[in-house]
Amino acid sequence: MSKELILTINPGSTSTKIGIFKDKEKILEQKLEHNTDELEKFEKITDQYEYRMDLIQDVLEKENMKLDKFKAVVGRGGLLRPMPAGTYEITDKMVEDLKIGIQGEHASNLGGLIAKGLGDRVNIPSYIVDPVAVDEFEDIARISGIPEIPRKSLLHALNIRAVSHRLAEEIDKDYSSLNLIVAHLGGGISVASIEKGRITDVNNANEMGPFSPERAGEVPVGDLAKLCFSGEYTLSDIKKKLRGKAGLVGYLGTNNAKEVVDRINSGDKKAQLIFNAMAYQIGKEIGKMAAVLKGKVDYIILTGGVAYSNMLTSYVKDMIDFIAPVEVYPGEDELEALNEGALRVLEGKEKAKVYEEEVNIND
């Protein structure tokens, strides 16, 4: 049997997306949405491995896509050690770091684990591309205010880089000549400043910035400290409260922004206030990044699943379109970007990076 396909796997906090490609052509795409109740029963993210793997295998079986048809498997890379962008082969050390959650817990940690698990079964290579741990920060962006707690570059690097390249192509400019602000609005939210092709600053999408469908973002730290020591919560409870049970889930009980829009359209005033507040915080974060770029912003891009909502993008545009022209690319180009990252390596245009050679293993 000829091995001509590439399998791409993108686990997010609210969904698992699967794509099958023949060269650059996407021949299958499936989005499996996970509601809050489904995910709540898992103590840790890595506990979701079997659950998400089974769902992926079910899709492959239903579509009669046997593993021996594939020449590579590519997963979204997770919260690994700070690293340059690129395509990486999945090594044992990477697997170890994904399992520990070396920079924290997030669904994307499962991308590399599942890709490696499937690839090893049929002895084909497995890769990750532009993981959420891509770090191109200016040193000044690392300082938080507490020496023991540096700011971290954790973001939707895969889609942010993909849509920035897409815009550059559309306006016929070189990516490395542009200053951009890109806000990825998914289960988590990243708002990044891109200076001449380099991501110089971003809120840590797992812990900072605007609140999101399932995350707290920035909260008043004094009150958070009191909550932690109230005796009512364990560390695990607090982590879940901040990621998974916060944001839209905390206020409205759902991680599904579409459902929130439906509630607003049926007259739910609380849903309207909370949705507007999320938009307001996104607008404020974009303003911060405009200051990072000293006002020299060529374009602002709004992307990710929540950018499908006109209600939200209109609110944000109204706050920030004085800064620069705003482009909306709803959804994400992540499956395509995973496929193209693997293709560049398989076609010999690029050499796969080796994790152990690119990161500081002793940190």
**DSSP states of 294-325 as a string?**
TT--SEEEEEEGGGG-HHHHHHHHHHHTTTS-
Choose which of 16, 126, 164, 206 interacts with ligand LANB7ZPL (CB under 6 A). Answer: 206
Binding mask 73-112 for ligand LANB7ZPL (x = CB under 6 A): ---------------------------------xxx----
Count the site residues for ligand LANB7ZPL by CB under 6 A: 14
**Nearer of residues 176 and 265 to ligand ADP, judged by Cβ:** 265
Site string for ligand ADP, 180-209 (x = CB under 6 A): ------xx----------------------
- Which of ligand ADP, ligand LANB7ZPL, none sits in contact with 87, Cβ below 5 to 8 A by type? none
| Nearer Cβ to ligand LANB7ZPL (5/9) | 9
Asked if residue 335 lies in contact with residue 29, where contact means CB atoms within 8 angstroms, the answer is yes
DSSP 33: E
Q: Would you call 15 exposed, middle or buried from its count of C-beta atoms within 10 A (0-12, 13-18, 19+)?
A: middle
Work out which of 52, 151, 156, 263 binds ligand LANB7ZPL, going by CB under 6 A: 156
309 binding partner (options ligand ADP, ligand LANB7ZPL, none; Cβ < 5 to 8 Å by kind) = ligand ADP
Q: 329: how many CB neighbours lie within 10 A of its CB?
A: 20
Tokens of 292: 């990072």
* Contact status: 132 vs ligand LANB7ZPL (CB under 6 A): yes
13 is a contact residue toward ligand LANB7ZPL (CB under 6 A): yes
Q: C-alpha 23: how far from its chain's center?
A: 24
How many CB atoms sit inside 10 A of residue 352's CB?
19
Q: What residue 308 binds from ligand ADP, ligand LANB7ZPL, none (CB within 5 to 8 A, per partner kind)?
A: ligand ADP
Cα of first residue to Cα of last residue in the chain, in angstroms, is 45
Exposure string over 214-237, b if 16+ CB within 10 A, otherwise e: bbbbeeeeeeeeeeeeeeeeeeee
- Residue 307 engages ligand LANB7ZPL in binding (rule: CB under 6 A): no
213's contact among ligand ADP, ligand LANB7ZPL, none, with CB below 5 to 8 A by partner kind, is: ligand ADP
Per-residue x/- track, 247-266, ligand ADP (CB under 6 A): --------xxxx--x-----
Pairing of strands 25-33, 126-129: unpaired
Distance CA 287, CA 247 (A): 21
Residues that bind ligand ADP (CB under 6 A): 12-15, 186-187, 213, 255-258, 261, 304-306, 308-309, 332
